[in-house]
Amino acid sequence: MPRRKAPLRPVVLERDLHDSDLYVNRELALLSFQRRVLEEAADPTNPLLERIKFLSILGSNLDEFYMIRVAGLIAQVDAGTLEAGPDGLSPTSQLVAIRREVKRLLAEAHRCFSTQLVPALAEAGIQILDYTALDDKQRAAANRYFDEILFPVLTPLALDPGRPFPHISNLSLNLAIQIRDAKGHEHFARVKVPDSLPQLVLVNRIKRKIKHAPKTLELVWLEDVIAANLGALFPGMQVIEVHPFHVTRDADIAIKELEAEDLLETIEEGVRQRRFGSVVRLNVTADMPADLVIILINNLEIEPAQVYRVKRPLALKRLMAIYQIDRPELKDATFVPATPRGLTPAADEDDIFALIRRQNILLHHPFESFQPVIDLLKKAAHDPNVLAIKMVLYRVGRNAPVVEALLEAMEEGKQVAVLVELKARFDEESNIEWAKALENEGVHVVYGLLGLKIHCKIAMIVRREGEAIRRYIHLATGNYNAVTAHLYTDIGLFTANEDIADDVTDLFNSLTGYSAKSDYQKLLVAPVNLRERLEALIRREIESHKKNGGGHLIFKMNSLVDAPLTRVLYRASQAGVKIQLLVRGSCALRPGIPGVSQNIEVTSIVGRFLEHSRIYYFHNGGQEEVYLGSADLMPRNLNRRVEVLFPLEGPKLIRRVRDEILSIYLSDTVKARRMQSDGSYVRVSSQNGKRPVNSQAYLIARSRRAQE
């Protein structure tokens, strides 16, 4: 009998990991995040004013998106750049796709506001009224406000041969006005809606009949009050048309550091010039006449594709005025963060230095208080044994207790050295002010490195203890900002570990002096060794899995758009390593693709707090390792910034991050969305009748229990 032939095995072709189909466009991924923010505004389980806040955040995010991301794409197109990114989209193609998606987003956002939120606000006693719907009493109140407050502030600006088109500042709301003079000639004029005044005008207060019920607020938008009273600004003229418009300009600061003798002066000038950048977006109302739109297009020197016809309010960011109304029952319940574990003195003689010497201490904000960081710096400022304090300041905000502590330390005669990153986008002005204040007190202030942005979050206190010198280190995923510490989720670490202290000392020396150091004992530092070490750790996980199985990576970050690291993660998935990614914002990696990323799961959590901590967990054959720090997996973080990832030492802290933080986020079935292979996201839901898990609410509840 003839031998039976063996069945042919199917030929499996290895997928080219450079294939553009394996990558989501960064800009579209960022807009996908904005859609998740919009979903929170539409979610009726969120408190009403929190939903308003999410719409305002969406508007603010889109403003920044156009000022930075779209402005950069337009610059590439103007420069003739045709090169596509890993996803295969050219700059021109990206602009087309962005416009299409933004129009959809804005349509849904305004529909949410008008059909869901405005009626709900009215039911709660907050009425946003159209000026034409005001009764005589309300109209009188609005007009009185115009006469007493607005009229002296406003400046009408005409357009004619003797008066050129006025400058329209970035993010300003304006009125485009068409008037007719006594001779029948028509003219264009512009009035800026002042952003220094409340954006909503109270036209009446009526007490509800229900006892102890809050008063009804009847409000009208500021621009409506101005539009209704334009006759006072143009006496003897007939107002034919009046329509609001909103301008967004290129706000990225191009710094030619090689040519800048004084970086501080260069940044200051860049901030001043930001309001004069080229226009990248013009929002107008749907009913603005075409001739007025053409006047704006020609004078703002933009293309028709940069014009967006949207419903009012034109600038969603202004909805924050509604959120700021004092109605706490319509907002998230406040809570007081717990004292971080390990910082409760065991004896009266213990102080924060003794507690840190005893053990490394992890702080998980905002569920645990940021106050110990401020307390440590204030203690150091007045401790006679403290010799020096060194810090990196990236975003500290206007009211900065951290900077006040440094100034106190200087007054006490300590050696204080601070690296202030002047190039922290949109925080340049406050950083400039703090840099000058510190310099004026004699603090050693360094403004950064040539071509690099300093983004790491580190502080070091040098203290004399007997005959020895000990260094106390604070490392974090977030900024030294007491305000955002209540709004962002971040993790900090207090340690007196000598190896880490050596690394931090070397890093400060490289930032303030000269150093060619190419490696560190404990820290992963960009652009020195972070990329290479991360890739090596992932490859180690691959080899460990091939030998013993059980390979597992859990990465939590803001963004994943670096193509080389994405390919390494794809290779880990192909090797069978289980990969769970918590990516809040942009994710260029596509999960769930057979033969490439079938072992990768991508989750995004958008909730009450902005997820900001970066955590990198490696199972490592059971010898688990966790790194925390400031770096996302983006080319800018790995190549063009000074970033730090620091290790957690000891199984107790590693288990805490794995079991009490990462596992909670991965169990979320309320605020979590799971990314699909096409780049879309679907909400994660509870299975088999299990109780829903809201990770942030769970962590708040645990914080409250810790204080009982």
Which one is predicted more confidently, 510 or 580? 580
pLDDT given for residue 11 in this prediction? 41
Within 10 A of 326 (CB to CB), how many other CB atoms are there?
8
d(CA 576, CA 403): 48
Answer for the pair 420, 435: CB distance below 8 angstroms, yes or no.
yes
d(CA 342, CA 340): 6
Tokens 């995040």, residue located: 33
Average pLDDT, integer, range 229-248: 95
Answer for the pair 624, 656: CB distance below 8 angstroms, yes or no.
no
Q: Where are the domains of the chain?
A: 20-330, 352-512, 524-706
Answer for the pair 246, 171: CB distance below 8 angstroms, yes or no.
yes
Quick one: tokens of 256?
Answer: 């030619």
pLDDT given for residue 269 in this prediction? 53
Average pLDDT, integer, range 71-82: 87
Most confident of 11-20, 333-342, 466-475: 466-475
Reported as a single tens digit per residue, the pLDDT across 170-210 is 999 999 999 998 888 898 999 999 999 999 999 985 444 43
- The overall longest dimension of the chain from CA atoms, in Å, is 111
Quick one: tokens of 587?
Answer: 């994710």
Q: Cα-Cα-Cα-Cα dihedral of 385, 390, 391, 397, to 10°?
A: 70
How would CATH label the architecture of 20-330?
A: 2-Layer Sandwich (3.30)
- The least confident of 343-347, 517-521, 546-550 is 343-347
Q: Is the dihedral of CA 671, 677, 680, 685 positive or negative?
A: negative
pLDDT confidence tier of residue 164, bands split at 50, 70 and 90: confident
Average pLDDT, integer, range 215-229: 94
- The least confident of 58-72, 264-278, 351-365, 564-578 is 264-278
> What residues pair up with 174 in beta bridges, in sequence order?
192, 245
Residues of the chain with pLDDT > 90, as a percent, come to: 73
pLDDT of residue 584 exceeding 70, the answer is: yes
Nearest to 61 by CA among 273, 228, 210, 248: 248
Answer for the pair 206, 215: CB distance below 8 angstroms, yes or no.
yes
pLDDT of residue 560 exceeding 60, the answer is: yes
pLDDT of residue 138 exceeding 90, the answer is: yes
In which element (H, E) is residue 296 found? helix 290-300
d(CA 607, CA 662): 16
d(CA 504, CA 510): 10
Which one is predicted more confidently, 394 or 42? 42
Answer for the pair 304, 259: CB distance below 8 angstroms, yes or no.
no
Residues of the chain with pLDDT > 70, as a percent, come to: 89
> What residues pair up with 191 in beta bridges, in sequence order?
175
Distance (Å) of CA 564 to CA 398, 503, 524, 551, 582: 38, 27, 18, 20, 19
Tokens 């300590």, residue located: 414
Answer for the pair 86, 17: CB distance below 8 angstroms, yes or no.
no
For the domain made up of 524-706, give the CATH fold: Endonuclease; Chain A (3.30.870)
pLDDT confidence tier of residue 234, bands split at 50, 70 and 90: very high
pLDDT given for residue 399 in this prediction? 72
Answer for the pair 491, 629: CB distance below 8 angstroms, yes or no.
no
SS3 288: coil
Which one is predicted more confidently, 271 or 23? 23
d(CA 34, CA 604): 12
Which one is predicted more confidently, 274 or 94? 94
Quick one: tokens of 412?
Answer: 């006490």
Distance (Å) of CA 487 to CA 365, 533, 607, 644, 696: 9, 31, 11, 22, 12
Claim: this prediction has a pTM higher than 0.85: yes
- The least confident of 10-24, 586-600, 667-681 is 10-24
Angle between helices 563-574 and 530-548 (to 10 degrees): 10
Q: Cα-Cα-Cα-Cα dihedral of 655, 659, 663, 668, to 10°?
A: -150
Nearest to 168 by CA among 198, 199, 195: 195
Angle between helices 401-411 and 428-440 (to 10 degrees): 10
Reported as a single tens digit per residue, the pLDDT across 339-371 is 887 787 654 456 899 999 999 999 999 999 999
Q: Which CATH superfamily is domain 352-512 in?
A: Endonuclease Chain A (3.30.870.10)
Reported as a single tens digit per residue, the pLDDT across 385-437 is 999 999 998 877 777 898 899 999 999 999 999 888 765 454 455 556 766 77
The count of residues in the chain is 708
pLDDT of residue 543 exceeding 60, the answer is: yes
Query: What DSSP designation does 692 have?
Result: P
Nearest to 423 by CA among 565, 307, 282, 256: 256
Reported as a single tens digit per residue, the pLDDT across 239-287 is 999 999 999 999 875 444 444 444 445 545 554 444 557 999 999 999 9
| Residues assigned a catalytic role | 455
pLDDT of residue 160 exceeding 50, the answer is: yes
Whether cis (ω within 30° of 0) applies to the bond prior to 527 is yes
Nearest to 233 by CA among 152, 304, 297: 152
The two domains 352-512 and 524-706 share their CATH topology (first three levels equal): yes
Answer for the pair 631, 526: CB distance below 8 angstroms, yes or no.
yes
